[in-house]
Structure 1
């Protein structure tokens, strides 16, 4: 009888995760009865999953994880489950509401559970839902049939943790499900005296629609956002559109020019047209005037006198039931009943200008605004593709801030887009507006930001300057590492001259800066992260002297090394952690470059992290480019530089650049003689030199090098790496038993390390040696283990290797057009995936694969071969993985085939040369 795990779907799996909304509240109400109610809800769900062929693979707390082979079945099950829960007669006050998330991704079971990135991703999606709601990713929508996908309503794109890019989310509708829910619990990637704007408002339709809903219902709505984001412009537009609904008028009050808080009441009186009585309190006149009116008050720039505004608004709302207030501020007013609408900058293209098609770029809201404003000063402005690319980069550099874009676009009257971009890169002071009708603070971006900073306390200014050292989104822990420095590191920013900020105060300071819109908050399932807009970051960095910035960068570097440093290399958790902090690590490295030898060594260690990350995720070309630049910038003669050069050499080897790798290995070797190598990379250079020798077919040299390194008793990771190259070299010399023994040693070390990436490579290496030796069942067994890990890690290169090995095993085995069609399709798809990832096969591996494909061409004929090749190019990755799994399973089961391949214990390979190098670059460990 097969076990449960054997029935779990694999390949492209649709996961459903559930969670009970408000479980703590229900537990408090139900007390001892809660367990029975929870079980009752579980029974309802279990029956539904079973009816739709779902398999519950995990249960934690009051939630569950269910796997489906079919996206259609998963969505149908969710709809039915929500219906059952809704119809169930729960006790009064004990109604269960369950949030559900659905995501489809590559996965394979390990035992009775899944360990896959897709599982983490579905958990994040579930956390964004509300009770009774089913939120679905675009991956699942794409996997569903058109009829089922038609019931999915788009919600927009959101930033969700564990996804590399913003995720389109959809909501399952119909089937009796509610149609409306509160906003998704994720951050989305967007008679009157009102002034008459001279330009059209660009891309604020969603915000205007939301304001149209909120203003009649909520007494106080506050538009919150950073300076220059367009709060005033949006408030004015919303006010103009709202005029017909407010018979008492829509009245605009600008608080920015007021000399002090005592002038606020008088400014409101003037705006609403109250003449007042000499000597009388203007505020009482305002209240009496508006007491019976249905009017909308638009109060702009409230952050200037926030406390006084909050007091007066609360009084007005209490005394005048028909008055509503639309406020703009960089922080909330904190008046009871206040509704917030946070205003984000205009959306910018996610890629650099050179990587975006002109039509796509011109559709982006920020680019549209820039082009429209540029045509106001140069009516014939019609940018060619090169100019459009510059405009995209301008918009990205200015974070899509409307004020900054308008000032920059005004320069098009005298400068080309490339000149504007170059000027912005040198200094934001090029952004100086000639419009004297604007308040002084809005005539340059620097003036605007200066004005914002002057409103901060000394501790807030210090925290802002230090957080600006970080280059991307960060958590409170990283902020604490940056802000709560040692007294000796402090600079003079108007704070405590004896030291920095106490550690326990940092979270409050971060929250306060976010409230004031100088930090942008990005709530995630794992906690809130924060970031600075690039324009704010540039300005904030100028608040501190270079020595102070470097001291902050040094603290952050040590903090990151403690958590992500080279001694922690390997495993999916490390890869995910580095991915979340990439921009921050890069920023820290950049600010330490050019410092003393101490700073240089720390920066080099972090640069090694960046290089090894590129290798782990197989962003090989990007890795070569970035690591080459870092090696050129970080030149201190330290052991860490030896490791940095080694990481660069390994990247060159992965993409087949042998001459470049040889030069870097020689430089690293010369430096190691004088500086030594770091303990955490004890055999790194030997490993790179050994692999280079294999590529050059100097196998004896590699054997001697590897045996010498192993005799020196290296670290566990070092032993794994040297067993790896020793295995390659011995097999290339025709010593299959020695190679098998070396690769078995590599596998044993990797298992002890618990490093999934190295372990996958080790299984792939053993698969290759067994394949070349004719031990096909063993080869299939190891390659299946490699495949399962590759699915967990989401590694395209490893998947490509599996397809390649499966194609070759199929060619070794049976006959008939179906078999040879599989060989061609898998081999073609593997080649496409390898090309996409930048990986380059050993010459011998490529020759073996080409022989298998040549045999297929002979069996199928030219037309049949080309037809299968075309099918391979368009083959879905999940389908290719399923075909490879089938081939590997069939080969592994055919143990008699393996037995016939041996006579007196001597392997007899079929169809391949035992003198070839062992494995392609994707399965070489680092």
Structure 2
């Protein structure tokens, strides 16, 4: 396995301090060690171990938002990302791995201090070139991999292979040449290579990759020449950062001129790229488009690019050290500005294409692709809003990405890009009007009605002056949403009908589908069930004609509401599950939350009260992820409240609270699985399995008798500290925070077992 000593030291440090930072030179293996430690301590963190990759983050202002996204805090929120983050983690027991903090040391220090103060169950494991410098932080230096000492007696071959550096070289060499082995004949050469690169994992991997074309002796000879050149013949031990730089310089010079150009140009991508993107951005001026594929293959062979499988396609990325090296070369060449512009143009075109193909069968694959490309989209937008004369392109791109912002955990980021664009681009034209109603929808989903109203008023004014039916249709639609949230149903109907007519005139299936969904919901609300179903079925027909899925899922939800209101409960349940399945596949927390809401109401109407209560508990997690309860569907809140009141009355306060806690303890994914009844269909109606072990149950009964920790320890002949640990586990498992709650629970279990 390797790194046993460092792993043990890091685990010990995490046990003693809530903030631990792994420091060391680039390529020393800090990330790999942090991930290994995370795997080994995962069971100690009830709410998971989360990796936050910061290497591609250039904007320090996006730090908190990046952590929010990494933690998959889904859905809309108008609140400051740091506030969202601290609120989400407040009662969590989790480990955050902040990887590559070196360029954001001060910002990471502020963030970590804030999180540790707000969330007592959270610990942070950071990696970087230096410590964060916060109070209580423990710092561990990640050394090079162990090597045989020079001048020591020659060890056996088996003993040599126990050194991590030699073993890593052998493993990577076998990946290149399956027949490779460290033998008596090559052991000295292999050992010398590992010593020359100071045992740095990245350097060892790059050296081993050269075995595709060179012998081990040739590699050693070239390393000698290169190091002597870089250090002016100094016999001193090389600094590790110089060693890594030397090896990357050497790898660069082993590439052909065209491969070097592609390396430099591909470094403009923030977090990986597809072959088609490289062809679009990197071709031209000494690289023909048709040559890109062979150059990519060459860079993969030389371990400059890493190949990653994504469903049925392949994506490429560079290690950050490799990418930064290429970026430095690109800057020195004077071509960085040109490549950044090409990069932005490519992603602007991608956003426009996704918008044009939004309502169709490729919808899910496009949304998935945009999710993978978010770092590149962010880089493209940053270029647009940072360069003189590019604001129009930026606001147009941010608007085209509307459904990317809505169907992922990037809604808050999308709102900020649009706000930035609207502040800078003031021309009262179609571009601004479209950005205004787009921003208004995001604001509605964030429950920010005043801002939405202001944006819609301006967008409507521009639309009237331009006589643009599409603009007027969307401003009417979103104004109807605000009216419905305010309880003005008749006004909402008029606005929705106006929107529907305008979208029909402009032949916009997206606008038609959205208008029909909202009209169906409002008529269900008013008891006009036949009309509600007719409208929803019309929406289904529009979606099916285009092979569209996302709007159809919301339409299924609307039909389910109408079925529930008419107590057609089996149909309502199936319709909501259809909606939930699709929204889960898309990562849409808002859509998943609405479907779960209706499933809870339906369960209560079916008198499946325990399931209803657990679903209400699940919703505490889901709506927290979505940012605001029922968000843009706030007019449904009284259905939620009625369901909760009816369920509480049927179960009794204690049983209701217990079931609610059981649902709330589920993770986001577990909550959706429970809603779909993918665990055990009748589980919630059967007797709950005992959540405590035999020893914990015994201690819980002694707590209920009023015994102190010391008395419990004496009674069971165990250490007082052991008794205290058991009680902490009991509190955690049952979701309690006091001994009195344990006593009440024990009494309930006793009554239940006797049929009382």
Q: How high is the TM-score relative to the length of structure 2?
A: 0.55
Instruction: Supply the distance in 1 between the matched residues of 2:680 and 2:539 (Cα, whole angstroms).
Output: 24
Question: Post-superposition shift, 1:847?
Answer: 1.6
In structure 2, the partner of 1:752 is 545
1:57-94 residue CA offsets vs partner (Å, 9 max, x unmatched) = xxxxxxxxxxxxxxxxxxxxxxxxxxxxxxxxxxxxxx
In structure 2, the partner of 1:881 is 676
Q: Secondary structure at the match of 2:273?
A: coil
Residue 822 (str. 1) matches residue 615 (str. 2): no
Contact 2:446 2:627 in 1 (8 A): yes
Q: Match for 1:607 among 398, 403, 426?
A: 398
Residue 560 (str. 1) matches residue 350 (str. 2): yes
In structure 1, the partner of 2:480 is 690
Residue 648 (str. 1) matches residue 439 (str. 2): yes
Residue 467 (str. 1) matches residue 266 (str. 2): yes
Instruction: Supply the distance in 2 between the matched residues of 1:467 and 1:297 (Cα, whole angstroms).
Output: 29
In structure 1, the partner of 2:287 is 501
Question: Post-superposition shift, 1:764?
Answer: 0.3
Change (3 A) 1:610 1:773: same
Q: Match for 1:202 among 143, 150, 161?
A: 143
In structure 2, the partner of 1:838 is 627
In structure 1, the partner of 2:210 is 332
- 1:144-293 equivalence runs, <5 A: 202=143, 204=145, 209=163, 211-213=165-167, 250=188
Question: Post-superposition shift, 1:625?
Answer: 4.4
Q: How high is the TM-score relative to the length of structure 1?
A: 0.46
Which stretch of structure 1 is more off in the superposition, 466-475 or 768-777? 768-777
Contact 1:826 1:884 in 2 (8 A): no
Q: CA RMSD in A?
A: 5.1
Instruction: Supply the distance in 1 between the matched residues of 2:493 and 2:339 (Cα, whole angstroms).
Output: 48
Instruction: Supply the distance in 2 between the matched residues of 1:620 and 1:339 (Cα, whole angstroms).
Output: 55
Q: Match for 1:588 among 354, 359, 380?
A: 380
Instruction: Supply the distance in 1 between the matched residues of 2:619 and 2:211 (Cα, whole angstroms).
Output: 58
Instruction: Supply the distance in 2 between the matched residues of 1:219 and 1:864 (Cα, whole angstroms).
Output: 61
Instruction: Supply the distance in 2 between the matched residues of 1:563 and 1:586 (Cα, whole angstroms).
Output: 17
Change (3 A) 1:550 1:810: closer
Contact 1:471 1:587 in 2 (8 A): yes
Question: Post-superposition shift, 1:761?
Answer: 0.5
Change (3 A) 1:558 1:791: closer
Instruction: Supply the distance in 2 between the matched residues of 1:582 and 1:632 (Cα, whole angstroms).
Output: 23
Q: Secondary structure at the match of 2:270?
A: coil
Instruction: Supply the distance in 1 between the matched residues of 2:428 and 2:552 (Cα, whole angstroms).
Output: 33
Question: Post-superposition shift, 1:885?
Answer: 10
Residue 527 (str. 1) matches residue 318 (str. 2): no
In structure 1, the partner of 2:562 is 769
Q: Which has the higher contact order (CA 8 A, sep 6+)?
A: 2
Question: Post-superposition shift, 1:785?
Answer: 2.8
Q: Secondary structure at the match of 1:882?
A: coil
Instruction: Supply the distance in 2 between the matched residues of 1:572 and 1:248 (Cα, whole angstroms).
Output: 52
Instruction: Supply the distance in 2 between the matched residues of 1:857 and 1:848 (Cα, whole angstroms).
Output: 14
- 1:104-143 equivalence runs, <5 A: none
Change (3 A) 1:725 1:569: same
Larger radius of gyration: 1
Contact 1:642 1:677 in 2 (8 A): no
Contact 1:811 1:823 in 2 (8 A): yes
Q: Match for 2:640 among 849, 869, 876?
A: 849
Q: Match for 1:483 among 282, 290, 312?
A: 282
More strand per residue: 1 or 2? 1
Instruction: Supply the distance in 2 between the matched residues of 1:646 and 1:541 (Cα, whole angstroms).
Output: 39
More helix per residue: 1 or 2? 2
1:228-276 residue CA offsets vs partner (Å, 9 max, x unmatched) = xxxxxxxxxxxxxx9xx97999579xxxxxxxxxxxxxxxxxxxxxxxx
Instruction: Supply the distance in 1 between the matched residues of 2:679 and 2:306 (Cα, whole angstroms).
Output: 46
Contact 2:396 2:435 in 1 (8 A): yes
Residue 805 (str. 1) matches residue 589 (str. 2): no
1:483-513 residue CA offsets vs partner (Å, 9 max, x unmatched) = 124xxxxxxxxxxxxx452111112333444
Change (3 A) 1:852 1:517: closer
1:140-165 residue CA offsets vs partner (Å, 9 max, x unmatched) = x99xxxxxxxxxxxxx999xxxxx98
Instruction: Supply the distance in 1 between the matched residues of 2:559 and 2:289 (Cα, whole angstroms).
Output: 50
Instruction: Supply the distance in 2 between the matched residues of 1:683 and 1:339 (Cα, whole angstroms).
Output: 72
Q: Match for 1:708 among 484, 487, 498?
A: 498
Which stretch of structure 1 is more off in the superposition, 620-629 or 691-700? 620-629
Instruction: Supply the distance in 2 between the matched residues of 1:879 and 1:763 (Cα, whole angstroms).
Output: 19
Instruction: Supply the distance in 2 between the matched residues of 1:564 and 1:658 (Cα, whole angstroms).
Output: 28
Instruction: Supply the distance in 2 between the matched residues of 1:881 and 1:864 (Cα, whole angstroms).
Output: 23
Residue 719 (str. 1) matches residue 597 (str. 2): no
Question: Post-superposition shift, 1:750?
Answer: 1.8
Q: Secondary structure at the match of 2:677?
A: helix
1:26-78 residue CA offsets vs partner (Å, 9 max, x unmatched) = xxxxxxxxxxxxxxxxxxxxxxxxxxxxxxxxxxxxxxxxxxxxxxxxxxxxx
Change (3 A) 1:538 1:823: same
Question: Post-superposition shift, 1:582?
Answer: 1.6
Change (3 A) 1:579 1:338: farther
Question: Post-superposition shift, 1:695?
Answer: 1.7
For structure 2, the residue ranges without an aligned partner over 5 or more in a row are 1-38, 44-50, 54-68, 72-98, 101-139, 148-160, 198-203, 220-233, 686-756
Question: Post-superposition shift, 1:300?
Answer: 5.2
Instruction: Supply the distance in 1 between the matched residues of 2:615 and 2:175 (Cα, whole angstroms).
Output: 59
Instruction: Supply the distance in 2 between the matched residues of 1:726 and 1:665 (Cα, whole angstroms).
Output: 19
Question: Post-superposition shift, 1:812?
Answer: 2.5
- 1:602-681 equivalence runs, <5 A: 602-617=393-408, 619-625=410-416, 627-629=418-420, 631-632=422-423, 639-673=430-464
Residue 865 (str. 1) matches residue 743 (str. 2): no
Q: Secondary structure at the match of 1:527?
A: strand
Question: Post-superposition shift, 1:788?
Answer: 3.9
Contact 1:803 1:880 in 2 (8 A): yes
Question: Post-superposition shift, 1:760?
Answer: 0.9
In structure 1, the partner of 2:64 is none
Change (3 A) 1:556 1:616: same
Contact 2:620 2:664 in 1 (8 A): no
Instruction: Supply the distance in 1 between the matched residues of 2:660 and 2:211 (Cα, whole angstroms).
Output: 65
Question: Post-superposition shift, 1:635?
Answer: 5.8
Q: Secondary structure at the match of 1:471?
A: coil
